[in-house]
Structure formats: structure tokens, C-alpha cells
Structure 1
Amino acid sequence: MEIVKLRDDIYYVGAVDWNVRSFHGYTTNRGATYNAYLIIDEKITLVDTVKAPFSEELLNRISEIIDPAKIDYLVSNHVEMDHSGAIPAVMEVAKNATIITSAQSGLKGLQAHYGKDYKYQAVQAGETLSLGKRSLTFVATPMLHWPDNMVTYCKEEKILFSNDAFGQHYASSKHFDDEVDMAIVMQEMEKYYANILMPYGRQASQAIDIVKSLDIDMIASSHGVIFRKYVKEVIDKYSYFCNGENEKRALVVYDSMWKSTEKMAFSIVEGFKRAGVECLLFDLKENHISDIATQVLKAEYLVVGTSVLNANILPTVGAFLTYMKGLAPKGKKGFAFGSYGWGPQSLSTLQKELEAINVEIIKDAIKINYVPTKEQLREIEDEIAAIEL
């Protein structure tokens, strides 16, 4: 296997998952990586592992460098199984290794997943572990995105092993930012943040403040490429993601049975355009909710439409709103709209669902019985254009 070196005696030993296309309902159209790092020092240290099916690849990469049985420390920055899944396989070989994890959530989580028979060492925030020539300092980042999360900083090498922070689901035969298309990497980093870390913007902002206080030349995350050239740009981008400020942009998200609600959606888009507001349109039959979530992250307006099905909203719209409820977007404004046949009850349900995800309702739901006329569509457009946005 190719040996990938970050610094002298520091190596990438992770795995590339070319074929994965879903992560808890979030589409990973460019695959993923599960990054792990090996540090050769007086104490040989493995920082994180990989998803369980890739255990053999991890051990093979380590074996190209040293005998895995010589590992002294295994640092587990995060309990989730795409990071910790290979712990049993590693510990089967490195029988004398000590697992370093966060106190107390990391310890509790690892023991729940893998039992209590391993040698664990729970570390506090700010605690430092000497490896010999190098040291590792553990920085707590709780709720980014589990309670146990921490990142690991090597001050001698100016490397931040950042776990999920700065991650991207992006598979590549290259491992560094200056070897790939950074425009794609930035897109995937934004999608990752929007779909996984959006609910934890406050915690992300606090973590960024800590990161900015460190002297960092390299960010080695647990997913995607390693940043060695664009470190400042990446940190600035994350600051932008989590600063809580929205841009003057509207999203119109809908599903339609017989095109009536769709016609209304088009008129709403035209109304926003006339009001000078950039607008994006998403048909839920054609767009995945995780791609829409990426746009929700920074949009000021979220407008959602549905046809009525059995006196309820369409299932696609319900799924989208359930997903949004989990992501808890901040500072959004919007309203509901849609067409109906026998009764408009579901439009009231839709408005209540928007309120449940803390969307500030700026107008009552727009309701059209059956098929909208040209005059009604023009009225919708004029009404939106006239709203003080």
C-alpha cells in the first residue's frame, strides 16, 4: 500500500470508502474517507480508527510502517462507529495498548460499545500526553456532534487532529488539499456542516475560537482531505458557517400532485425576484433533502408548499420538515402555500410545522382551491413582491 506521510514519522493510515452513498439519510455522492493517523515516537500512537468493515485496510496500512502490536496508545476522539469501529480489530493485535478517550462521555460510550476489558485512560479537557519528542493536548469539543467529542493537538508539529470538525465526505486517491479541486472540497465541507453540525452552531463557534488560539500548520480531520495549504481559508469558512448570520436569499421548497402547487411555487419565485431577493426552487421529488439542507444553512427565507393528500401534507414534505426539525435552522422567515381540493386543513398543519422549526411566519398560508388561474398566480406574485423583506 502507498505510504502517505504528513510529517516525518506521522502518517495517514485511514480508509477510502468509494461506494458509500448515504450517511443517516444524508447523501454522500462523492464517497467518504475514514481518516486515522499514526505517530511514531517513543510511544507509538494511533489517532482514531475507521469504520469496522475497513479494519483490514487500516491494519494493512499500519503494517507497511510498523508492527501494529507495537502501538502504545490509541486515541479515540469520538465514539461514533465510523471513527471507533475498528477498535476491536486493533486491540486484538495491539494487546498492550491504552485507549485514550474523553472523560466521562467518551469512556462511557466506548465501554458501552466495546466492553470494559480494554485498558482505558480518560482525559480531561486541556490534559497533555507525552509521546517522547512530541506531546498531544486534548481539547474538548462537546456536542460537535456527540457529548464525547474532542480534538487532539500536537504543538511540536502544529497539527490539529480535528475529528469531525472541518470534515467532508469526499473520496479521493489524493489526501491533501493542494492535490485536489478545492472548490469541490469546500462544497462538500459546507454540506457536511449543514447536515451534521448545523444544530450545534454555538458549540462550533466556541470550538473555532479555541482553534484560532492554536498555532496550526495542518488540519487532519477524520473525513476527506488533509489541509496543509488552505488552513486559514478553511478556518474562516467554518467561522462563516457557524456565525449565525443569514444571507438575503429565499428557498421555495415544495411537492405537487397535479402541478397546481408547482405553479404557485413558480409565482412565489417571481415575486421574490421582483423584490430583489435571490431565490432557489426545489421540487422534493427531484432534490434530496440533504442537498436542500445545504442551502437552508444560510438562507433567510424558507417557504414550503404542499398539495393536500388525505387531509394531510404530502409525505415528501413531511419528511423534509422532520429532517429540518432535527437540524434546527436558526433565524429563518417564511410561510406555507399550496393547493387543495375538498378542504385546506393541511395548509394550517404545514404552517404549524414551520412554526415548530422556529420559522418566523411573515404571512398567512397562501391557499388555492384546485387549479390556480392566471389572475390568481399574478396576485401571488404581486403579493410577494410587495412584502417588506
Structure 2
Amino acid sequence: EARRYYIGIVGKYGPQVQAVLKKAAGLDIQTICSLHGPVLKENLGFYLEKYDKWSSYQPEESGVVIAYASVYGNTRNAAEYLADVLQEKGQKTVLYDLARCDKAKAVADAFRYDRLVLAGITYNGDLFPCMRSFIEGLTERNYQNRKVAIIENGTWAPMAGKLILGMFEKSKNLTFTETKVSIKSAMNAQNKEEIGKLAEELS
């Protein structure tokens, strides 16, 4: 809950938090009285370590967040297929349906884990609104230091992959996978092979 709150409210201001933590490092801190939330009197090192990690935009855990936007279920099928392949490889995965999930939780988990897969559809030549909103929730909070993969879906003129990349053009220290997956309506055998390669690269 502290993570969700921090990322949602303070996430953009990592450099300022880092400056405060440096000033506080020399103090004998006995109690933390937060503006919102409980007064902390025990295990303060744990909380300070979390704030240091969050404000320096470092992942807390190894794992893959797969966030998808799907209209007819085909993009969801691809996301779930990738999740299954990754889990078979022993990778922790968290799956989010961006049209139905708690967006704040999805954004917080994208910061929590070190890898992110965005599975999006082309919608009126643009991204589906919930995918665009999710990415904005990341970029406005300085999302960085992660590996990102893209699965796009579009029957006539697939644009989702290019548009997702464009939304991250000002982001720092993101590594995009070499494997690109482009689906036309529904997964075929070639797409499953590509997703298998993507899973290898993410592992």
C-alpha cells in the first residue's frame, strides 16, 4: 500500500526525495510521521530502504508485468500465452487487463518489477485509451531502468507498436527487446514462435 501511494503521488519527484534522504542519512531517526499513513516507530531501515529504491527508480523484485488492452479477446490470449510460457521458465509474472484493473496498482507493479510487456491494439489509428492512459501513468512518473517488450495487434494497419515506442521517447534508461510481435487479429503459429523467442529474451 505504501508503494502504491508513493508511486501514485510522489513518483515524479525522485530527485527531490533522494536529496531529502541524503540530508536525513546523518540523523538518528526514531519516528517517521508521514503526512498520510501510519506513524512508524519500528523497522525504520526497511522503510528508508524502500523509499531509496523507489526514488532512484530501481526495481524491487525480479518479475514480468504483462499489461494488455484487448477488445475481442485475441490480445488477451497472446498475453496469457506469454505469461504461461514465462511461468514455465520459472519467471514470476503479473497480468493486468487494463480495461478492468485498478490502474494505480498496475502502475505500482510496473515500478515494482524489472520487466514490462505491453500488449496493445491499434484502435482508430491510435492506441486503445486504457493503454494510452496506463503508459502516461508511467512516463509522467519518470519510468526508467527497466526492460520493455511490445506485442501489437492490428488487422489492416498495425500501429500500436510504433505508438507505444513513441510514448517512451523521452524516457531514460529503458531497454526494449529485440523480439517484436505483431498479430493480425488472432495469434497464429508464427506469432506463438515469436512469443516463445520473446519469453527467452525476457528470461
Instruction: Tell me which interval the TM-score lies in, with the shorter structure as reference length.
Output: 0.7 to 0.9
1:369 counterpart = 2:181 = no
> Which residue is equivalent to 2:44?
231
Give the partner amino acid of 1:362: T
> Which residue is equivalent to 1:196?
9
The higher-RCO structure (CA 8 Å, 6+ apart) is 2
> Which residue is equivalent to 1:262?
76
Shift of 1:245: 2.9
1:251 counterpart = 2:69 = no
Decide which of 248, 260, 283 is 2:97's aligned counterpart: 283
Shift of 1:242: 3.0
Report if the CA contact (8 A) 2:65-2:115 is conserved: yes
CA RMSD in angstroms, aligned pairs only? 2.1
CA distance in 1, matches of 2:32, 2:199: 45
Decide which of 175, 198, 201 is 1:360's aligned counterpart: 175
> Which residue is equivalent to 1:240?
53
> Which residue is equivalent to 2:28?
215
TM-score by structure 2 length?
A: 0.87
> Which residue is equivalent to 1:319?
133
Q: Deviations over 1:274-297 (max 9, x none)?
A: 444321111001212211111122
Give the partner amino acid of 1:238: Y
Shift of 1:264: 1.0
Give the partner amino acid of 2:49: D
Pick the structure with greater CA Rg.
1
CA distance in 2, matches of 1:197, 1:310: 34
Shift of 1:220: 1.5
Deviates more, 1:349-358 or 1:337-346: 349-358
> Which residue is equivalent to 2:119?
305
1:337 counterpart = 2:151 = yes
Instruction: Say which SS state the counterpart of residue 138 (structure 2) adopts.
Output: helix
> Which residue is equivalent to 1:384?
198
TM-score by structure 1 length?
A: 0.48
- Structure 2 runs not aligned, ≥5 long: none
Q: Deviations over 1:132-188 (max 9, x none)?
A: xxxxxxxxxxxxxxxxxxxxxxxxxxxxxxxxxxxxxxxxxxxxxxxxxxxxxxxx2
CA distance in 2, matches of 1:267, 1:355: 28
Instruction: Say which SS state the counterpart of residue 387 (structure 1) adopts.
Output: helix
Number of positions where the alignment pairs a residue of Structure 1 with one of Structure 2: 201
CA distance in 1, matches of 2:58, 2:138: 18
Instruction: Say which SS state the counterpart of residue 306 (structure 1) adopts.
Output: strand
Judging by fraction of residues, say which structure has more helix: 2
Shift of 1:327: 0.6
Change in 2 beyond 3 A, CA 1:258/1:208: same
1:351 counterpart = 2:165 = yes
Change in 2 beyond 3 A, CA 1:240/1:348: closer
Report if the CA contact (8 A) 1:271-1:384 is conserved: no
Shift of 1:301: 1.2
- Structure 1 runs not aligned, ≥5 long: 1-187
> Which residue is equivalent to 1:76?
none
Shift of 1:356: 4.0
CA distance in 1, matches of 2:135, 2:81: 22
Report if the CA contact (8 A) 1:335-1:354 is conserved: no
Give the partner amino acid of 2:108: T
> Which residue is equivalent to 1:292?
106
Report if the CA contact (8 A) 2:182-2:191 is conserved: no
